[in-house]
Structure 1
Amino acid sequence: MARVRYGARTEAEIAAARTASANLPDIWSTGVVAVWESDPDAVAAVLPPPLKPTGRPLVRVNISKVELTGYPLGAGSFAVAAAHDGVEGWYPLVMPMTHERALTGGREVFGEPKKLGEITVERVGLVVHASLARHGIAFVEVRGAVSEELPLPGPTQKTDFYFKFLPAVDGSGFDADPVLVHCLRNEKVRRLERVTGDVVLRESMYDPVVDLPVRTLVDITIGEKTSDQRGRVVERVDARALLPYIHQRYDDPQQVHDGPPEGSV
């Protein structure tokens, strides 16, 4: 019988796939990163326990394009500063990706809040434009011009916090206790420039980032970076405490009934 590709793989094939994924070459991306101080109450409100706010109510958006051979990828992250058990890092609320392949591994292995979206990263001379869009709405836009080249930082390690869970089959709660994941990234930078510009947040019923307004812009940069990542489960979390936040992960139809905050545009 000819090989049936949906059939069981041999132990050798499974081991070969694992080895190949563990020995990938450095994959470089060009990305725009903007950081700002927002409303401290709003930042605290989006953090599921046991995550806590840090000393500054920071928000960070990262918008990148990755030139994978034959498979260019757009990747984004909109995150707030958070702390857990003495470790400070970032809690992403939404991570738009341009391809399904980039979604599955991150969501199923790490619990990343990835969704399909449209990513724009453009540079013409000194002028820079980057955006995250879903459902036809560019809910984050970063625009400006390169103003100076920056010294390269040394290799750094950064932490993202994710909650990994499976909604229950019967639609009530979870199938098992959710877990909190610390995802560690070792980052290297080979080019970094400062951008003078601004960040525009637009109303979207499915990506309501306007609730985390730009109060004080801290920094905008454009750079070329590469990183690896590894995660570890640090604790099981209280399912009842996490349940009110799981709509962050999905395009919840109930969100169409949520109005924008007063005074938002």
Structure 2
Amino acid sequence: MARVRYGARSPETLSKTAKDRSVLPEIWSTGVVALWETDPEVIAAVLPPPLVPADRPLVRANISACDINGYPLGAGAIAVRAKHGDVEGDYTLTMPMTTERAVIGGREVFGEPKKIAEVTVDRDGDDVVAKVTRLGVTYVEIRGRVAEELPLPDPRQTLSFYYKFLPAVGGDGFDADPMLVHVTRNEKHRSAFRIDGEVILRDSDFDPVADLPVRKLVSITLGERTSDQQGFVAEHVKADLVLPYIHQRYDDVAQISDEPPAPGDPA
């Protein structure tokens, strides 16, 4: 019988696949990172318990491009600064990706809020433009000019928070209590530049990043970096605490008509 590729794989093949996956090559990406302060109450509104706002109301937009074994990948992340207990990290609201493979892996393993989008980083001389476009709307655009080369940042470890869950088969709630996942990344850089520029947020019904207005632009940088990634389940969270935020993950048409709470109403 000819090989049936949908058939079960042997224990030897599974073992080799797991071993190969555990040793990833260094993949360098070129990315633009913008950091800004927004309204504290906005960050408080988007955080599912038990996450709470960090001391400073920061938003980070990271838009990158890289090449993986000859296949181009555009990747982004828009996150707000948060705390889980005494630990501070980024709670990521959306992670636009250009390939289905990049979306599925991160969503199913770590609960990363990934969606297919057009993600581009272009440099023409000193002019830099990074964009995320989805469903006809370029909802994040970072543009500017290289102002100076920066000293290479020291290697560092970053922390991101994600909720991993599956909507219930019956359509109401979840199949099980969501898991709050901590993902750490060890980053290192081989180039870094300061950018003089601006962050442009455009309204999108399905990716409402414009609700995180730029009140004070902290920095825009351009650089080449690589990182690894490890995750673990930090806590199981009661379903009713996370359910009001499930629309962050999906293209829920109901959120088009969402309105901010009236003064004095619970968020």
Q: TM-score range by the shorter chain?
A: over 0.9
1:12 aligns with 2:12: yes
Report if the CA contact (8 A) 1:203-1:260 is conserved. Answer: no
Report if the CA contact (8 A) 1:103-1:114 is conserved. Answer: yes
Q: Which residue of 1 aligns with 2:207?
A: 207
Instruction: Give 3-state SS (helix, strand or coil) of 1:19's partner.
Output: helix
Deviation at 1:4, TM superposition (A): 1.1
Structure 2: how far apart are the matches of 1:260 and 1:121? 33
Report the residue type matching 1:186 in the other structure.
Answer: N
Structure 1: how far apart are the matches of 2:59 and 2:260? 19
Q: Which residue of 1 aligns with 2:156?
A: 156
Structure 1: how far apart are the matches of 2:73 and 2:169? 32
1:191 aligns with 2:191: yes
Distance 1:237 1:259, change over 3 A: closer
Deviation at 1:259, TM superposition (A): 6.3
Structure 2: how far apart are the matches of 1:192 and 1:117? 26
Structure 1: how far apart are the matches of 2:138 and 2:248? 18
Deviation at 1:120, TM superposition (A): 1.4
Structure 2: how far apart are the matches of 1:74 and 1:22? 23
Deviation at 1:257, TM superposition (A): 2.5
Contiguous gaps of at least 5 residues in structure 1: none
Q: Which residue of 1 aligns with 2:59?
A: 59
Q: What are the superposed Cα offsets for residues 71-94 of structure 1, whole Å, 9 maximum, x if unpaired?
A: 100000010001112111101101
Report the residue type matching 2:155 in the other structure.
Answer: P
Report the residue type matching 2:227 in the other structure.
Answer: S
Instruction: Give 3-state SS (helix, strand or coil) of 2:102's partner.
Output: helix
Report the residue type matching 1:110 in the other structure.
Answer: F
Normalising by the residue count of structure 1, what TM-score does the alignment of the two structures yield? Answer: 0.96
Instruction: Give 3-state SS (helix, strand or coil) of 1:67's partner.
Output: strand
Q: Which residue of 2 aligns with 1:22?
A: 22
Instruction: Give 3-state SS (helix, strand or coil) of 1:15's partner.
Output: helix
Q: Which residue of 1 aligns with 2:115?
A: 115
Instruction: Give 3-state SS (helix, strand or coil) of 2:25's partner.
Output: coil
Runs of 4+ in 1 over 4 A off after TM superposition: none
Q: Which residue of 2 aligns with 1:216?
A: 216
1:165 aligns with 2:165: yes
Deviation at 1:260, TM superposition (A): 9.3
Structure 2: how far apart are the matches of 1:236 and 1:61? 28
Report the residue type matching 2:25 in the other structure.
Answer: P
Report the residue type matching 1:94 in the other structure.
Answer: T
Report the residue type matching 2:225 in the other structure.
Answer: K
Q: Which residue of 1 aligns with 2:137?
A: 137
Structure 2: how far apart are the matches of 1:118 and 1:74? 7
Q: Which residue of 1 aligns with 2:81?
A: 81
Report the residue type matching 1:30 in the other structure.
Answer: T
Report if the CA contact (8 A) 1:65-1:73 is conserved. Answer: yes
Structure 1: how far apart are the matches of 2:146 and 2:260? 33
